[in-house]
A = this chain, B = another copy of it.
Amino acid sequence: MQLVETDGGFDLILAGRAMLRQRSDAPCLYVGRGAPRVEMYHGHFDIEDNVEERVGLRYAALTRVSDGSARIALSIAPALPPLVTLTLSGGAQDARIHIDAIDPTLNRLWLRVVADKGEHVWGGGEQLSYFDMRGRRFPLWTSEPGVGRDKSTLLTFQSDQKGKAGGDYYKTNYPQPTYLSSRRYALHIDTTAYSAFDFRQEGWHELEIWAAPATIELWARDAFTDLVTALSDRFGRQPPLPDWVLKGAIIGLKDGATSFDRLEKYAASGAALSGLWCEDWVGLRITSFGSRLFWDWKWNATRYPDLDTKIKELHDRGIRFLGYVNPYLCVDGSFFPEAEAAGYLAKKLESDETYTVDFGEFDCGVVDFTNPAAAAWFAERVIGQNMLDFGLSGWMADFGEYLPTDVRLHDGTPGMLAHNAWPVLWAEVNARAVESRGRTGEALFFMRAGYSGVQRHCPLLWAGDQSVDFSRHDGIGTVITAALSSGLLGNAYHHSDIGGYTSLFGNVRTPELIMRWSEMAAFTAVMRGHEGNRPRENVQIDEDEQVLAHFARMTRLYAHMAPYLRALSDEAVATGLPVQRPLFLHFPDDPATYALQESYLYGADLLVAPVIQPGVDRWSTYLPAGTDWVEVWTGNLHVGGRAVTVDAPLGKPPLFYRQGSAWTELFTGIAAVI
The interface of chain A, by Cβ under 8 A from chain B, is: 30, 32, 51-56, 76-77, 79-80, 152, 154, 157, 161
Contacts and interface: CB of A to CB of B under 8 A. Distances in A.
A53 B51 contact: no
Given A157-B157, A161-B152, A54 B79 contact: no
Contacts of A30: 52-53
Contacts of A51: 51, 54
Nearest to A37: B200
A274 B32 CA distance: 62
Contacts of A53: 30, 54-56
Nearest to A79: B79
Contacts of A154: 157
Contacts of A152: 161
Given A152-B161, A154-B157, A76 B76 contact: yes
Nearest to A154: B157
Contacts of A32: 54
13 contacts: A30-B53, A32-B54, A51-B54, A52-B54, A53-B54, A53-B56, A54-B54, A55-B55, A77-B77, A80-B80, A152-B161, A154-B157, A157-B157
A524 to B, nearest CB: 35
A438 B154 CA distance: 55
A150 to B, nearest CB: 11
A77 B77 CA distance: 10
A5 B56 CA distance: 30
Contacts of A54: 32, 51-55
A52 B154 CA distance: 36
A53 B79 CA distance: 19
Given A80-B80, A154-B157, 19 more contacts: A30-B52, A32-B54, A51-B51, A52-B56, A53-B54, A53-B55, A53-B56, A54-B54, A54-B55, A55-B55, A55-B76, A76-B76, A76-B77, A76-B80, A77-B77, A79-B79, A79-B80, A152-B161, A157-B157
Nearest to A55: B55
A46 to B, nearest CB: 13
Minimum-distance CB pairs A-B, first 8? A79-B79, A55-B55, A157-B157, A54-B54, A77-B80, A53-B55, A53-B56, A53-B54
Nearest to A157: B157
A154 B161 CA distance: 10
A511 B80 CA distance: 71
Q: Which residue among A51, A53, A76, A77 has the maximum number of chain B CB atoms within 10 Å of its CB?
A: A53
